[in-house]
Structure 1
């Protein structure tokens, strides 16, 4: 006697008490979570399938995760105004963990070029992270939790980003993908900022302002634009950075008029975003950035023209009152005023810090100053003394030893990269692209004296990625030569 087994599908499964009980239990759990946690849990359940699909895509193709990181990096801090109670910032860490896990498991089935990460730049990142790790045992440190939060942007993301660039994003086409993604994101950031200026903040942004951010973002009744970034200072610095990069790329773009026009538009709108942010220190980005670009050209006429243009800009802001009827120009002009009240307050704070730091060569510990200090050790001297600068923060938290090491590493990267661009590269395309990245980096380094933009999102990961691309210059040159050789041979056949 033959017994036929019929497979049961869909709603037929509910006739089985076991399946029905499981379904009811799941629904009760979901209902309970919705009642306790609110709408955020419901949204989480809706998003979960997409998250799982994204994680699966990362393990299949790790490059997807790195591109996703670039996108997430731009929007994450802005999203915290809309999504409460979820530590979205840790999503950056999750991306890195997933990327390295994906590479680890991928190595069981195919060769992963780990050896690509064996170079001096990764070594420098390890040294810097090692010093940051040492800060965990700094006897001056008050909070170890603050160390965890602070060291990520200061050192950990640098250590994670650079090797990933060398391992999975090391082709010239990857650099071009990076630049195009960045251009689109910079344009979106500026457009969001323009919406805030002419339409006003949305309800969630207004709630953020009302919660205390209006103290720094509404000056003399004027809104300092912050777009979907953490604050106006970061928005201004990031848009100035984008303006420099895409101005240089637009100038040198020869193959595509479409991209030349697009980069030019992105640059102009990014500079407009810088202006409406009301971030005076951001003006240092184009000044130092274009100065670096001019020096890299090694052309006497270009250098002279650049110096004259720079002097003209300086004279306009320093010695004239032209445009003072415009609030944006008037505020930018204060960046050139040595008697500005804000500057004097910053200098006074630095004098206080100088006395305090005299007996603390290794600083007060990572996370002891700035926002993390206010959150985890609010009653300490460093938490109550504003640093107002990336370098002053490094000095306060890691001492003169840490600041010296940090500057030594940065200037080594700049000098080594400049030497490669000027003396080693032959390709005009590479000279333009990598020269733009280096110019943007030096601009951010200059602006970081007045603002803490260097390690903040999205600028930090962009800068660390730029370092990796700069140190891949020789590989790109070989790659382009090989490509040109193949094209030449195909034409001769």
Structure 2
């Protein structure tokens, strides 16, 4: 055994060093997440079992990541998770495990080079900016490495995990297809839970949330349903982006059953979006469609989308038709210049701008409400609840950080759109890529209006989806073969069905 370890270390020194760094990172996450030594000892049997399954069937762990990411918030609010474990720890430890497996498993080429692209460059820019924030002491509280690291993990380093995991594990047409189906099933479960909340009723935990956050989820006598998500805004923006993605994938798919499945999924998720009562969600949906107008390069697709968008805008902004409907009235308020909620946001942002003039690097990553002393002039910034992801970035990293963040987001989206426009020749594969690009653009608009971009389950889904777009050119040749084989089977089934039908008439 010792000889094997020495031999492996000698031949794969870089892998061993990387694994050691990942191990240290995992331990540090345990420590900063609030795990005690006793908790670690108690969890050891589960960790060993998890590691065994991981090395035997790594894709089980990948699918587990998707399911955990989508439902961890839901499980937490229903108190189905152990106390004291931060929600971010679940994703991070699974992602580290997946990366470690890829490093150790020398039997397979994991195509690490696929992770080197415009998106990884954009992420690197953002990560470097956030790394520099460790020296930001604008509030004169001293440098707190632990607080900085927690924030750094949540808004920057998790993107590194995501692009690595998706670049490595989305490596075949079958895996890509399974990924889309699992995501669709998870989205349909959220639709089911919305139906349950609306027509069957809320459970005890959900009722408690309504009473605790009534002003958020109970507006003018209307319940804003949040399904399995943290809040209605998160659900609405996610549903808008998800519905755009599945509708576009369905419309461009060549497989009849999958086309029907994805279009139905998109329409049902779109229905769920309206139940959330999230005003910006409708704008997210149309933003995603507008991006597809460019990516489709087709007047046949572009014309009806533009006409539909113009009609919907005129309907909501310049008429009172359907004002008696709760959902329509809620969506129409987004176009009301005198809306009280919008005015409060404007006032808050004006206050932030005044203080942030003297803080180009922001108040610092990891600074939370209540940590800045009352006599400190930046206490106002630490206590104002950010009304969007961009505002959160602006407060904590200043105009410098916000600029780098916006440039990074633009670069990764532009690079993905370029791939869809100019590199992919297969129409159905380009449709998948376009769906992910449009969903990402929709979520960015959602992030402008609400703090949702890094909320569960959005980060992994939409940044992961964009990472998949960068992998698609490597899969195109195999996709052509996969598609032709599947189409041949589809045609054979049609032929046999027709023969059986004709035979029954004789």
Higher mean alpha-carbon deviation, 94-103 vs 306-315, is at 94-103
Give CA-to-partner distance per residue, 1:259-311, whole Å, 9 cap, x none.
Answer: 22221221111111111111111112211000111111222354333222111
Contact 2:126–2:156 (Cα < 8 Å) also in 1? yes
Kept in 2: contact 1:116–1:166 (CA 8 A): yes
The 1:487–1:352 alpha-carbon spacing in structure 2 relative to 1, beyond 3 Å, is: closer
Encode CA deviations 1:409-459: one digit per residue, 9 max, x unaligned: 111122222222122221011111101111111111112110111111111
Alignment of 1:56-75 (within 5 A): 56-75=52-71
Distance 1:188 1:376, change over 3 A: farther
2:129 maps to which of 131, 135, 142: 131
1:334-353 matches, cutoff 5 A: 334-353=333-352
1:449 is paired with a residue whose SS is helix
Task: Return the offset for 1:103.
Answer: 2.6
Is 2:217 the partner of 1:217? yes
Is residue 462 of structure 2 the alignment partner of residue 463 of structure 1? yes
**Cross-structure match for 1:405:** 404
Does the C-alpha gap of structure 1 residues 223 and 486 become closer, same or farther in structure 2, counting only changes over 3 Å?
A: closer
Q: Gaps spanning 5+ residues in structure 1: where?
A: 1-40, 489-493
What's the TM-score once normalised by structure 2's chain length? 0.80
Q: Distance in 1 between matches of 2:124 and 2:102?
A: 20
- Residue deviations 1:345-403, cap 9 Å, x none? 111111111111111111111233xxxx2365585222322321111111111111111
Q: Indicate conservation of the 8 Å contact 2:118/2:415, yes or no.
A: no
Deviation of 1:88 after TM superposition, in Å, equals 4.6
Q: 1:374 aligns with which of 362, 369, 382?
A: 369
The answer as to whether partners of 1:146 and 1:376 remain within 8 angstroms in 2 is no
Residue 61 of structure 1 and its aligned partner are, at CA, apart by: 2.9
Q: Which is further off, 434-443 or 98-107?
A: 98-107
8 A Cα contact 2:250 2:263, kept in partner:
yes
Aligned counterparts of 1:468 and 1:305: Cα–Cα separation in 2 = 29
State the Cα distance separating 1:111 from its structure 2 match. Answer: 5.3
- 1:183–1:263: 8 Å Cα contact kept in structure 2? yes
2:415 is matched with which residue?
416
Matched, 1:76 2:72: yes
Q: Give the equivalent residue in structure 2 for 1:307.
A: 306
Query: 1:426 aligns to what?
Result: 425
Contact 1:247 1:263 in 2 (8 A): yes
CA 1:199–1:480 in structure 2 vs 1: closer, same or farther (change >3 Å)? closer
CA distance in 1, matches of 2:247, 2:384: 38
Write out per-residue CA displacement over residues 81-127 of structure 1, whole angstroms, 9 at most, x where no aligned residue. Answer: 214623251111211222223233334x6655434433342233222
Bigger CA drift: 458-467 or 132-141?
A: 132-141
CA shift for structure 1 position 48: 8.8
Counterpart check, 1:162 vs 2:163: yes
8 Å CA contact retained: 2:125, 2:408:
no
SS in 2 for 1:448: helix
Give the stretch that moved more between structures: 117-126 or 153-162: 117-126
| TM-score, structure 1 normalization | 0.82
In structure 1, the partner of 2:19 is none
Counterpart in the other structure of 1:21 = none
Which residue is equivalent to 1:4?
A: none
2: CA distance, partners of 1:363 / 1:421: 36
Distance 2:484 2:263 in 1: 31
1:486, 1:421 → 2: CA distance? 23
Larger Rg: 1 or 2? Answer: 1
For 2:149, the equivalent position in structure 1 comes to: 148
Alpha-carbon offset, residue 484 of structure 1: 7.2
- Rounded to whole Å, the distance in 1 between the matches of 2:291 and 2:453 is 18
Contact 1:350–1:387 (8 Å) recurs in 2: no
Tell me what 1:491 maps to.
none
Task: Go from structure 1 to structure 2 and tell me whether the alpha carbon gap of 1:181 and 1:376 turns closer, same or farther (over 3 Å shift).
Answer: farther
Aligned-residue CA RMSD (Å): 2.7
Q: What are the within-5 Å matches in structure 2 for residues 283-294 of structure 1?
A: 283-294=282-293
Secondary structure class of the residue paired with 1:472? helix
Verify the 8 A CA contact 1:388 1:451 in the aligned structure 2: yes
**Separation of aligned partners in 1, 2:477 and 2:356:** 48
How many angstroms does 1:232 deviate by? 1.0
> Shift of the alpha carbon at 1:220?
2.2
Shift of residue 476 of structure 1?
2.1
Kindly indicate whether residue 208 of structure 2 is the aligned counterpart of residue 207 of structure 1.
yes
Residues 110 and 177 (structure 1), Cα distance of their counterparts in 2 relative to 1, 3 Å cut: closer
Deviations 1:214-245 (A, max 9, x none): 23112223221111211111111111111111
**Where do 5+ consecutive residues of structure 2 fail to align?**
1-37, 488-506
Distance of 1:310 and 1:358 partners within structure 2? 38
Match of 2:12 in 1: none
2:176 aligns to what SS in structure 1? helix
* Equivalent residue, structure 1, for 2:473: 474
- Are the equivalent residues in 1 in contact too, given 2:241–2:443 (CA < 8 A)? yes
State the match for 1:22 in structure 2.
none
